Chains A and B, each alone.
Chain A
């Protein structure tokens, strides 16, 4: 058997679905699905997302060899499917979530515990054709054991000490050293997949924009692109550029805050104060340009909701040069403070192979040699005509993740300058045609690749939608990164990952 075969060639064994754009979707039967999972062990097919519906499971795959992207679907009228986790460990939590939401059983998945469902919802298996009644009592959760002399457990959360989202961390420690960390998430689950069903596209867009508030632009961007793909909507050029402008401002604002917060967790508070000021200027600029500090709901299917005026653009250009100068001063400060570097260097190392195995993106991937960026591959407008570097480091520690952010801030500041200076003129919104179809989109958020899949009907309603957060593939790596570090360095490692709770809990 030829071990490596192109993804699209292989998927020909399935039935192509009409109206799936821009990437094809194929429905496989049980046998071919299993065949596909077995193939994945030999082929460089990257798992981008996996999600369920009442009676189907979908995987979004990309062939690393030629960049081809496709969705494979297993029709599970029998309520079961062969687990992809056997070939791709990143799928473990995704499939536990599918089991909780749709009641479909992943065959071969070793972890039988619930993931999103804590036994507290008003119905169980909410996405199944017939949901079940609520659980009698909240489930207990069996954490994985760690055994050895002198080991102790430290439970942390779900309510944490800082101003962060809720989640539970269970540490097994030997003295100061972490032997095992296990995460239990799902506390912010809001049932977004079910909420958007049957909603008009505009209402669904507002909900998807709030999957993870810090990436609201990226989610709106991805949702809009997915809807536009499904309906064949052409977006005016000016709107496309404005979208990228918002996306890059969001990237810089988040990176600035992260850099400050990482240093703050290493007890270097001045950096947080300094970065906080810089970030504030950007959010102010957002307010002036788009009328919202986070540019929430400003990208809509068909274009953008607001046009910018030239005066605001001019002040943005002025702000940029000032920001750049101040940013570089802070970077010098970081570079020349040995006590700070001592904390970030060699802490929380993620080896490169594991990043590739989980296909983790964003700064987590790029700090460990995986230089993937959705703006480049598959690429989407306007980035296809823009030039920008994608920084890659190989040490995989907190320092590397911080430096990737620093270099991305520089690159994005350049992009913002270009986008603002060369902004094409014209309209900023087009009508979304009333057409039924399916669309998928990939957009690079500051954290990594956001994937949105959507199915709409001819009346402009969303029938089903799945937003996938990059954190799904980053959270598991944090568990590994912390191992062998001291407990006190956990906040530092955690902040350097800055995974989204809300995004992965959905």
Chain B
């Protein structure tokens, strides 16, 4: 008997990759924001590859869903040399979501400290920019830049996988 996994894989081989065929260009707005900040610093240190560590700083978990989505075969982040790692010590980039809850602020800062230089911080989602609809709460600091310096904002609630991808590509172009 042919095992089912062989059947499934064979089918995938025949049908070709599920990956999005559109050419993706780095997001323009993100490019100008980054250019202003980085000015070519640290280029060529890393090659065309970045290791990303996701940190949830009190998000509603909507942003996490889209981070998972860019890892699926359709968007397939890894083809660009971007990959998610398990420890900040292995990371070049911290991808931070959420309005930064007071209860997590210290953990976020420690994560940042544990990340080796050179490092970049990407604030993902509207609430990572300024607290979004949670701004003003006693339990929320209101934005990632209240705790660690931010190099790039990716807007959206949550940002779509394409917004996330093009934002990260902009970072890749400038940083790596």
Contacts and interface: CB of A to CB of B under 8 A. Distances in A.
Interface stretch (B27-35, B41-49, B56-64, B145-153): B56-64
A195 B138 CA distance: 9
A213 B158 contact: yes
A486 B59 CA distance: 30
A336 interface: yes
Given A190-B101, A279-B72, A164 B138 contact: no
B27 to A, nearest CB: 18
Contacts of B139: 121-122, 126, 189-191
A294 to B, nearest CB: 6
B144 to A, nearest CB: 14
Contacts of A138: 106
B8 A270 contact: yes
Contacts of A207: 133-134
B62 to A, nearest CB: 3
A500 B160 contact: no
A214 B62 contact: yes
A214 to B, nearest CB: 6
B103 A186 contact: yes
Contacts of A164: 56, 64
B104 A158 contact: yes
Contacts, number: 158
B98 to A, nearest CB: 7
Given A118-B103, A273-B73, A159 B111 contact: yes
A187 B60 contact: no
Contact of B102 (A120, A329, A330): A120
Contacts of A191: 134, 137-140
Contacts of B38: none
A56 interface: no
Chain A interface size, under 10 / 10 to 19 / 20 to 34 / 35 or more? 35 or more
B36 interface: no
Nearest to A276: B72
Contacts of A214: 61-62, 65
Contacts of B57: 166
Given A118-B103, A122-B138, A333-B8, A165 B61 contact: yes
B8 A280 contact: no
Contacts of A216: 60, 62
Given A280-B74, A332-B4, A188 B158 contact: no
Nearest to A334: B4
A280 B76 CA distance: 12
B8 A277 contact: no
A367 to B, nearest CB: 22
Given A213-B60, A214-B62, A206 B104 contact: no
A188 B101 contact: yes
Contacts of B59: 165, 188, 213, 502
A502 B74 contact: no
Contact of B133 (A118, A159, A189, A206): A206
Nearest to A123: B138
Contacts of B72: 273, 276-277, 279-280
B99 A161 contact: no
B136 to A, nearest CB: 7
B86 A162 contact: yes
A190 B137 contact: yes
Given A165-B64, A194-B138, A214-B62, A159 B73 contact: no
A502 B3 contact: no
9 contacts: A120-B106, A122-B102, A159-B111, A166-B104, A189-B101, A212-B60, A277-B18, A293-B66, A294-B158
Given A163-B67, A502-B59, 9 more contacts: A121-B139, A158-B107, A164-B56, A186-B103, A188-B56, A194-B137, A195-B136, A195-B137, A333-B4
Interface of A: 118, 120-123, 126, 131, 138, 158-159, 161-166, 186-192, 194-195, 203, 206-207, 210-214, 216, 257, 270, 273-274, 276-277, 279-280, 283, 293-294, 296, 329-330, 332-333, 336-337, 500-502, 505
